[in-house]
Each structure stands twice: as C-alpha cells, then as structure tokens.
C-alpha cells in the first residue's frame, strides 16, 4: 500500500454556499488556501511525486491540443478571479477523513452531493469503519441508501469497499490512484476526489461543471473526462488543481449553468477571460 503524505484530512461539512456579487473589482491579490501553498512548495522543491503531478499521457506543461501561452495565462487569471469570488469553495460532501470521503463520493454517482449528505449521518453512525461496513447486511444498506437511487448497486459497492479495505489495506484507505481505482465502484474521478481532498495531493476532478466551463472558456474541445483533465493540467500549475476545480464547480452552479448561463453577472466575461465558446 502506498505511504501517504500531505496534510491530514480535516472534517468537512460541505462548501459554504453564497451568491456571488454581480460585479467584483479585484483590489487585492487572491488568497490561496493552506493546501495550495503546501502543494506549491512541494512542487517547486521537487518533493511532489511524479505520479501525482503528472497526468497519464501528458507531460507537465505540455498539451496535446493547440494550446497557447495566452490560453495558459487566461486560465491562471480565471482561477485567480474565482479565488476571490469563492474563497470558501470546497468539497460539498460532508465527511470526516478519507474513509468517509471515499464512501460519500461513491454514493454521489447519479445524485447530488446535498442528497448524499442526508443519508451519510445514519450510514456512518451504524458503520463507522471499513470492517463494520464490510460486515453489514445488504438489505440494511439498501434501506439506508434508497433515497439516493440505485441502492442495490451502491450497497454492493460499499460492501466490496469495506471488505477490500479490511482484508487488503489493514482498514485504511490507500492513497495511490492505482490502488483506489481497483476498489469496487471507484473510478478515476472518485480517486481524484479522495487524493486531492483527503490526502492533499494534486488532482483534477472533472465533473459536469468542470467539463462544461472548460469548453466554454476555450481550454478544451473534448467531452472525454480524461482528455479534459489532461488539458487543464497543461494550463494550470499543480497547486491549483484540487481547489481550482472546486471553484469551477461553484461558478458552474451559481453562474455558468448548463441551460441558462447568467453571463450578464459573470465577472469572467467582464474581465475579458471568457470567450463564451458554444454559448
């Protein structure tokens, strides 16, 4: 099992929601989070692991699409602007430690983070660790998970995760992407959420909001999550990856929605940072 570094996981109760101001004038440098500063120092000193900093199929700083220096400059400026708009942007799933975050992220498939947060208190009270989860009765899990939909499949995933963590990882959540994606119900997106938020390792999470905004901002033309991840990695320094995605998600929820984007209230457009591709 990979030995985990980075900052210890802290209790999260979801990202604090607030409506962004219609117009914002940037008068102070954006403030990075403690995690971003830690990652930036690690990358600068060369102590960050290549497996984390790199993205499969793309060398750091090199895009396979026709990305320009100007695109990279604008991408950094976008994150700086969003850092000011959403200083508290964070993972919206309530969790306390890697195990709870892993389980909550698996449950978030095909539903909302807010709905997941309604069932996890009872789930974690009854099954506080991998051993307890792996020994749960399937019908009991399905009853708890029914409000999320797909309860049979999700109960199966949780049973498998609990058993695998207990039998193969001494009850601990592994912190390598390779080991995470080998767990039942865990794909690259879930693995990246855990790596970035539980272990403080740079990771890009491409959900529907991140993909949509990346295309509208002209950072990528692809709808393939791995391709989008590569293109963002080529534009952003690794210290931006985890929290930068939270900021994109928040902006997607509050302003740049799928069907009726509020472009008239978007400071990115006002600042000349959004080309409105496809809008």
Both tokens assigned to 248: 């994109």
Is 230 in the active site?
no
Closest of 71, 15, 17, 21 to residue 267, by C-alpha: 21
Both tokens assigned to 261: 């984007």
Q: Which member of 80, 189, 231, 243 is catalytic?
A: 189
User: Using CA atoms, how far apart are residues 277 and 161, in angstroms rounded to an integer?
Assistant: 40
User: Using CA atoms, how far apart are residues 235 and 228, in angstroms rounded to an integer?
Assistant: 11
Burial class (CB within 10 angstroms; exposed 0-12, middle 13-18, buried 19+) of 45? exposed
Closest of 106, 77, 101 to residue 91, by C-alpha: 101
Closest of 218, 217, 221 to residue 268, by C-alpha: 217
Neighbours of 64 (CB within 10 A): 12
Both tokens assigned to 278: 């496809």
Give the position of tokens 């992220």.
105
Q: Residues 110, 157: contact at Cβ < 8 Å?
A: no
Closest of 99, 130, 98 to residue 198, by C-alpha: 98
Which backbone phi and psi does 236 adopt, to 5 degrees?
A: -105, 145
Is 94 in the active site?
no
Neighbours of 247 (CB within 10 A): 25
Q: Residues 249, 79: contact at Cβ < 8 Å?
A: no
Both tokens assigned to 10: 């802290």
Neighbours of 157 (CB within 10 A): 21
Q: Which member of 96, 113, 129, 207 is catalytic?
A: 207
Active site residues: 189, 207
């Amino acid at each position: 099992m990979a030995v985990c570094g980075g900052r210890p996981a802290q209790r999260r109760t979801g990202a604090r929601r607030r409506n962004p101001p219609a117009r914002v004038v940037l008068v102070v440098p954006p403030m990075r989070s403690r995690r971003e500063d830690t990652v930036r120092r690690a990358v600068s000193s060369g102590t960050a692991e290549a497996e984390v900093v790199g993205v499969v199929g793309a060398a750091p700083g090199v895009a396979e699409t026709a990305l320009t220096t100007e695109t990279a400059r604008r991408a950094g400026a976008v994150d700086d602007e969003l850092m000011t708009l959403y200083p508290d942007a964070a993972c919206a799933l309530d969790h306390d430690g890697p195990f709870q975050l892993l389980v909550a992220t698996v449950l978030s498939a095909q539903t909302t983070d807010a709905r997941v947060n309604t069932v996890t208190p009872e789930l974690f009270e009854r099954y506080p660790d991998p051993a307890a989860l792996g020994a749960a009765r399937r019908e009991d899990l399905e009853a708890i998970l029914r409000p999320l939909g797909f309860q049979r499949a999700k109960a199966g995933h949780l049973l498998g995760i609990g058993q695998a963590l207990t039998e193969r990882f001494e009850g601990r959540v592994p912190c390598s992407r390779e080991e995470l994606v080998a767990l039942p119900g865990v794909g690259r997106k879930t693995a990246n959420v855990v790596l970035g938020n539980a272990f403080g390792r740079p990771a890009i999470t491409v959900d529907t909001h991140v993909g949509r905004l990346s295309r509208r901002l002209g950072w990528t033309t692809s709808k393939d999550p791995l391709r989008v991840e590569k293109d963002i990695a080529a534009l952003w320094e690794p210290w931006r990856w985890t929290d930068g995605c939270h900021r994109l998600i928040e902006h997607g929820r509050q302003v740049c929605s799928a069907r009726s984007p509020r472009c008239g209230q978007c400071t990115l457009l006002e600042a000349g940072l959004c080309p409105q591709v496809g809008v």
